[in-house]
Structure 1
Amino acid sequence: MREHTLLATAPMGIEAVVAKEVRNLGYECQVENGKIIYKGDSLAIARSNLWLRTADRVKIIVGQFKATTFEQLFEQTKALPWERYINQDNEFPVSGKSHKSTLHSISDSQAIVKKAIVERLKTKYRNTIWFEEKGPKVPIEVAILKDVVTITIDTSGPGLHKRGYRVGQGDAPLKETLAAALILLTNWKKDMPFVDLFCGSGTIPIEAALIGQNIAPGFNRDFISEDWFWLDKKIWDEARMEVEDLANYDEPLDILGTDIDGKMIEIAKANALEAGLADVVHFKQMRATDFTTNKQNGVIVSNPPYGERLGEKAVVEELYRGLGNTLADLSTWSIYMITSNEKFEEYFGKTATKKRKLFNGFIKTDYYQYWAK
């Protein structure tokens, strides 16, 4: 089986989390800003898409080279083995981006790459003069950084955060991939109580349940590469069989999501039902500051309001103070809060054990970690 150079894209700040996931799948990898690079066969493509909880996408690196002229871009793109990935029927749109490079025109670079691929395919499929592009889509990206061109093929299709269980959401939903990363950055184990005090549409509790029962995040969706001529259906069947074999649907879990908004609780329940976790994850409408528990050694992971909108700041500051008072006596619990509010520790009344810089979409945040004593 042919080996490919694979690239798992990752949000800034969680590359190490994605790299650990890749290694757990059995692949050695190299970590760079926003990406993890590793080698793998066709089965690795299927397994990566199905299992990576925190990556955005899985791509194949078709080629990488330096180019400062359009002629260099054309000739080196044409020299790549495109016939391995594209046949006479495939649709192959080309997107692009360029940063700090001589070839700064994205539209021109896209057009050159497209033309080069077509010319290469014409030499391989000699009876084909015109490509209809009505078959399965093979999305290609040309990315140029400091005159180094990287050409990739996206194997995922819709981003990996689209698990397939979200039937509803609030105004600012947390991406499933980030929710999974927040959990994997904690000390939570499946035999420990888990709580999200601002659960919204239920993303964090649902992701915790998937982790706790070792359910692959991609079990409930399809991927664009499943329709490609060179990726045998048997490979996907094998990968999905592994997913089914490794899932532990009977693993008992203690997971609770709470939210002050009753409508969001109903949405969270619907999402959990769609994920097949309605009996595993529990939701309750309540104020976060009303939370009490007699349980020991639990973990709280939450994405509280940030107070960035006009008029919300004072309300959120008071909420953080209330949270600090509510959770002050939970000495055996570890508490994790993500927010863009730089004064969170001051209002919460306690200095975090550790802080980690993360991005929630385009919002720069800190992940405040309070470890149990």
Structure 2
Amino acid sequence: MTRIALALLALLAVAPTALAVPSWGAKTSRPADTVPAALHPGEWVWGGDAKAMGPMAVVVSLTEQRAYVYRNGLLVAVSTVSTGKPGHETPTGVFTILQKDKDHRSSKYNDAPMPYQERLTWDGVALHAGGLPGYPVSHGCVHLPTEFARLLFGATNMGMVVVIAKEGVSPSELVHPRVASPIDPGTGKEVLAAPLGVQEQFRWQPERAPTGVLSLLLSTSDGRLFAYRDGKEIGRARVGFRDGAAPAGTRAFMVADGVAPATAPSWVEIGIPGQEAASGTVVARAEEDKILLPPGFRSQLQPLLRPGVVLLVTDKHVLADTTGASLQVLNADPPEL
């Protein structure tokens, strides 16, 4: 065999390896009750998602090296990231997705693979799968675990808002996000709702989002129920619990199909990561009756509890003055009934 033929065979032998796209990070989600600060480089939590739930937004904390994904005001996913290294810092600010390319390769850096690219600026900043050593290493992009990037790519729409925040530059609520979205999903601007007054039992402001899908968040630690529509808070109320202590842990529920708006809703449990076995469990009426709401708030909320409305119940704090590092992630996938 000639030397030329041997050289060609050698090139063919290495070609598949040279063209292969690497895979970065964990292959599967950590349990939903994993504290974000406990995620190791490359780890992530994806609670599930459904576009029908409402608008999505992403907050990237350069300080924490994590990305937080919100759907209709509620946290649905969180991931470790790697952002721009010194000299190539990732810019802070409010961005929108300008372009999506599942199989993108860099035109700047030796045709380097950038799978599931979601472009934020025309000069090269994007979300995409990439290396995750536990510290900033990119040339300005936000590196994500491959499987997380794939799920995010499928969930997002063109024009979706991405906020990138950093300690000393951005508000604390954006640098250290929590279970309720700190931004308006349409504009990316920070949203801080005033707490209830000492004598205020509830607040109801449906005009803030006249239409859209409803989502509910109940913090048993704060004793508050929050209502979100189109990603905006439209109401909050004080909550009490009959017959003993409030439930512990985190659970997600959904109003079942076939429930008429005029009747009391029937709730079924959604299996969040780490608690999949609970999926489809029907909530007993006696358990629902343990939650005590101001009558005025209940009467406003009741007509909106249609099939598909999601309720996240958590024993973690949501209020800004009591929020700790522990967050919970909601699964929006319908249970199999």
TM-score normalized by the length of structure 1: 0.29
More strand by share: 2
Q: Which has the higher contact order (CA 8 A, sep 6+)?
A: 2
TM-score normalized by the length of structure 2: 0.31
More helix by share: 1
